[in-house]
Every structure is written in structure tokens, then in C-alpha cells.
Structure 1
Amino acid sequence: MSKLNTSSPELDLDHPNIEDYLPSGSIQEPIGKLRLRDLLDISPTLTEAAGAIVDDSFTRCFKSNPPEPWNWNIYLFPLWCLGVVFRYGILFPLRVIVLTIGWIIFLLCYFPVHFLLKGHDKLRKKLEIVLEETVKSSLFSLQRGLVEVLCSFFVASWTGVVKYHGPRPSMRPKQVFVANHTSMIDFIVLEQMTAFAVIMQKHPGWVGLLQSTILESLGCIWFNRSEAKDREIVARKLREHVNGPDNNPLLIFPEGTCVNNNYTVMFKKGSFELGCTVCPIAIKYNKIFVDAFWNSRKQSFTTHLLQLMTSWAVVCDVWYLEPQNLKPGETPIEFAERVRDIISVRAGVKKVPWDGYMKYSRPSPKHREGKQQSFADWVLRRLEER
């Protein structure tokens, strides 16, 4: 069967073999009869449509791949049962204790200062007059350090094995860090090394409570995907943050949604039109013990954390890559694609030409019209050949 003829090499990376999904009888027809293979070879558009029906590359970006069972015989099954007892009966309680100790230490050190200063403007002003600049800077550093310590306890509660490559990020104005996105734990993995301010979807429940109390002190920016006005407000806050010399480094996940760490979807251009240096970060999880992908449509973040805490370990590599700047004549969209190329190659993931927001909505009319125009051009070419 011929490959899909398309101008985008990204589609070829994941083009499914239709014959793998068909019974042998539908392919091996007697000579002289119309075979399904011939029908699909008539048009690249029909081939692409058939491939999308059986296994489209967009859906595969957001599918978790369960591990293959290995306890299939009488010798392995007792070992598997022993592992389950050890993980749930010993490891999990120990990890809960570790995480509880971390929360107690954090709350005892963080909230007395945070709520005292947040609720008393007059007291804050008096302290700013009495305290020297170095003392105030130390207090802010302590606050950032406590958040890093809490994230370290979270990583320890998964028996996280994280290897960092490259120089540690530093606080500088006019820079923004961008990374591929697999789960909300990406933020925790990165935060235990550097106190980033992050732009993130506003979440309900206990995660939202943490966002409005602890993470807000880092200068984090929240948005609501359903509010169109939020885009302008967020864009203004981003520019103000990157221009502040004393602000925490800004971290953005430009894909806008969690992808299963096998692919990267299109980067939003907002991070690349701020007129500042972009520092790429590549994150790659090893699925040998657990799949770190968070499918937010199928499980809550609490369930996701429990899955991590009852696994053997979370194994991860993080690469801090060379900073990039907008080249002369380069558009923000081209800049975003160039940075996505760098991250994809380093993390060993495939690029696909999809907008991650399609996960939350129907395809745009522009996308449908593009496919319709492509099919119409092909039909015209075939008619002219005749």
C-alpha cells in the first residue's frame, strides 16, 4: 500500500498501516476484482480518512498505554502478588508518612509568615520600613525555598528518580522557560529544583486551593479556558512578569494540555511573542514502572497521585536546553515550531500537526475547509490528466 502523499512529513511519522486492521480475506481477493487496497490507493484523502477511522494520530496523543501483563503463568503470578502486597502494604503507607511529614514542616514554616503579611497591609508597610532590603530578599528566598522543599517531598512520595541535565535555571529578566507537558507533576518535578512562576489552568478542589494560597505567592498566573477575555488579561500579565527583574523565572507549557509523552502537539505562540529569550526544557518519563501521563478526562488528579504513590517509582529525565531567540525575519509561529523541534528531538518524541485545544472542542471550520480544498485540488488535477 502506498504511503500518504502529503506536504507535511509529520503525518508520515504516525501513518497507520490500514492492512494491519483488516482481515486477510478482505485483502487477498481474486485477480480482476476490486480490492480494498486499490480503493484506498485511488486518493490520498481516502487513505487519510480510513487511517483516521481506525487509528488517528490525534487521538493517540491523549491515550494512555497500559503495560502488557507479565503475570501470565504459574511462576510469575506469585511474584506479581508479592509485589502488589509490598507496594500497597509497605511502600504506600511509608510514602503517605513521608508526604505528611513534608506538609507539616511546610505549613509550620510557611503559613505564619504568609498569612500574617497577606492579611495586614499596615504591618507589611511597617516591616518594609524597618527591614533592610537584604532581609526582605531573604524572606522571599525562604518562601521560595519552602515551596521547593514541599515539591521534593512530593517527588520522594513517588520514589522519584529524576536526572537533571544542563545548567540550573537562574533568575533573570527577559526570559521565559517552555517545556513539553505530560502531567501536572511536570511542574512539581521542575519546581523542586527551581521556584518557577507558572501559567496554569485554574482547577477546582484542593488543587485550586493550593493555587490560590501557596502557588500564588510565587507570582503564578491562572487562566480559565472557557473565558475569552482571559487571553488579553493573561497576555498583559505575562509581559509584566518577564519584565520584572525580581520575579521568579516564568514557566509555560505551550502545548496547553497534557500529552502522553510520545508526541508533541502544536505550541501556542503567546510564549514566543513576548520579545524575550526562550529557554526550552525537555521532559521524558520512562514508563518502565508507571505511565506518568495524566488523562484528566478519565481520572482526577487525586487518583493520578495515588497511582503514582502505589507504583514502584517515577523515572524521569529533564534537559535544560540552550536558550533561543527570535531570528531576523522569523515569525512567532515559526519560532514556536523551531523550539518544538528542539524539545521533540531531545526528548525523543514525535511531532504531530495538531492543536491540543481540539481535545476540548470540535475541529475549527478553518481546518475542515483546508481538508476540503485539498481534496478539491486533487480531483481537479485528476480531471485535467484525463
Structure 2
Amino acid sequence: MTTPIAPTIAGLFSGEFPVRLTAYDGSATGAESEYGMELRTERALRYLLTAPGDLGLARAYVTGDLVMHGVHPGDPYPLLSRILGRTDFVRPSVPALAQLVRDLGMSSFVPPSPPPEEHLPGWRLRLEGVRTWSRHSETRDADAIRHHYDVSNEFYEYVLGPSMTYTCAVFEHEGATLEEAQTAKYDLICRKLDLQPGQRLLDIGCGWGGMVRHAAKHYGVRALGVTLSAEQAEWARLAIKEDGLDDVAEVRFVDYRHVEETDFDAVSSIGLTEHIGIANYPAYFEFIRSKLRPHGRVLNHCITRSTNRPTKTGKFIDRYVFPDGELAGSGTIVTAMEDASLEVQHHENFRLHYASTLAEWNRNLVTHWDECVREVGLGTAKVWGLYIAGSRIGFERDEVQLHHVLATRSDDGISAYPLRHEF
């Protein structure tokens, strides 16, 4: 192959390539920068050409065929902030595409096998004879949750810190630590729900039980949490026992749809709505309403789009991080809650708090990089560095947001909500 690789690849993007791009044939191009990307192998080229955009770049990076220079793999934020939004190829004309094939050779357009860290899409699984299920069925949801959450509790302890809280924190002041901010988040939710001693709380998608334990310990409620991750449930049960909360707190490894108890004073949903599918919002919020006593409160905390227009999830996120995950604008969430006869009382955006939370997670990953690699392998650790840093950029650029929506079950026009917010 005599065609220089780096200029040819850079020519597929619009404008000057934003960092220095080098290739295994010795060619180089792009802006002068302290950061750079290096295509080390012919397989890297094939990944980029057969999956243009973030998916091809991620595949080549995870396998080590593409290297990012000037950044730590646990926090590639400085480099990603320069290239994200500019990773899609400009669609070439038919003659230009034919010339590209002649220049690079037909073998360059043969797709390599995806890295083992990738969660294959349904159509690929069907081709390989693996049974698949309808999107957001109980079985498929459980499979998606296992892919993301049953990685390793030890790994999550390194990345998330002692709180073991994998949702947006609330930084009440400059200089607040991640642990302080996570505690502030749980406390704010408890106050919004107006939890009182002796009340009953249902926490749907409870993770490692942070909300369950905080509400039981500091607000005197009887709390039930449910999760589809067996590893989360086991960790949470041990933490509940260590805190001496066995008589007032419980975490079950079960699909929320199988919770039989009703008449809860409050329901919290912290980071679950992203997983259930937009089409299932009506049924989800109707389920929540059915679990509340009259005048009970629900707090929905979830990542949202900055628009209510339909927006596809990026292929990297779908294949490597949140299989089947879907996001909608906060207006879609509010509409679904109102259509389920839940009266919305308060609506708040924590977008920049999530950017700060993600920066702290990247910092933890860098600090404990060697331990994380030993725990989950280099490929998975690199996926997490890429995902956390990329998500931080999304929140900073207002591509995604994080909203709290507080609502009450108002029966016969009575909500029992005070004239002004008291939290």
C-alpha cells in the first residue's frame, strides 16, 4: 500500500483533524497539539473504515490498535474534548468512495471481529444463533443490566468511592468532596420526599443500596430497594448488616415489576428510567402510582436529553456501556408522569453537577488504574475511561442533562403538598 494512511483517514473528516494523527506507515497529519492519535495496525484502519464514527474509534482503542497520546487511559478527557462532535465521516461521493477503495485496497474494508468487551446487537446475536428477546422484556433487561453492573464490586469501589453511588451527586459548594456531594444528593431526595419516621419507602433500581441505607439511617423509614444486579444486591445486603439496619432496610435481587407490596409513602427512582425504554414510560409511572398511598410522593432522578425530539443513542454507548438504554427530554418524563395521574410539584436540572461527578470518577479511575486493570482487564478499564470522560463532555455541552421530577399521587384533587416547597 503506497497511499499515506493518516492524510487519507483525516480527509474523511470535515476540516483539519483536531489533533496530531499518525499511522503505522509513518505518515502524519492534523493540527499541532500536545495530544495525538496513532493508528498502530492495519486492523485499526479496518475498524475505522467499517464502523465510521465513535464505534470504530472505540473498537480500535479498546483493542490497543489505536493509541491516544498525551492522556491517561483512565481520563482521556483532554483529547476527547477536542475530537468529540467531529468523529463522523463526511459521506463521500460514489467516485470518491471507489477511489478510496482503490487507494487503500479492498482488504481494508473487511470488518474485523469486535472486541470481547462489546455487547453485540440483537441482529448480530441472531446471525450467530444466539436467542434474543424483545427489547425491554424482563429477560433482555436483566441481560443488559448484567453486562453493565455485574462487572466487579471491587472495580466499582475503586471508581465510585466509599459511597458506592453510581448516579449524579449534588455539590452544595465549591470544594465539596465526592462523598459529601453524594450524601447531599441522598439527603436532598429524602427532604423532597418529606420522609418521616415510620414511613415506608420503595427505591426502584437501588444499586448498592445507598438511598435505602441513608433513608433508613437518617430518616427512620422502613426502606425496600430492588435491583436487577445480583452483585449489587449482595453488596447492599452486607452493607445493611454492617450498618445494623436489618430490621428497617432490605434490598432484593428482583425485577421491580414483581414488587407485590403497595401503599408506600414514597417511591424513589434514581437512575433507572434510562434503562426501561421510552415506550414503557406510561406503564412505568402507572406502576409507581399503583405502589403509592394517596398523597404519597415520587422522585424521579434520571439522565435526559436536552431536547424532546427523538435522538438515537450513540453506538459506542449502546454496545459498550448501556445496551438498550434510551434517553428522552425532561418534558417527555413530565408528560408521562402527568398522564399517569401524578401531579408534578417540582422540576430541577443538575446537569453541571453530573459533569463534576464524572470528573471525580475519572480521577478515581486514574488513581486506582493498576488495581482496576487487575480487576476487570485492560480493555474494560479503557472502556470506562472513555465512557466517563465522554459523558462528562456531553453534560458540559448540554447534550444531556440530569433532572429531578417530584410528583404526588393526588386523589380527588388533594395532594397534601404544602403551599410552598419545604425541602
Q: Which has the higher contact order (CA 8 A, sep 6+)?
A: 1
Structure (1 or 2) with the greater helix fraction? 1
Q: Is the structural similarity TM-score above 0.5?
A: no
TM-score, normalised to structure 2's length?
A: 0.30
Task: Kindly name which structure, 1 or 2, has the bigger radius of gyration based on alpha carbons.
Answer: 1
Structure (1 or 2) with the greater strand fraction? 2
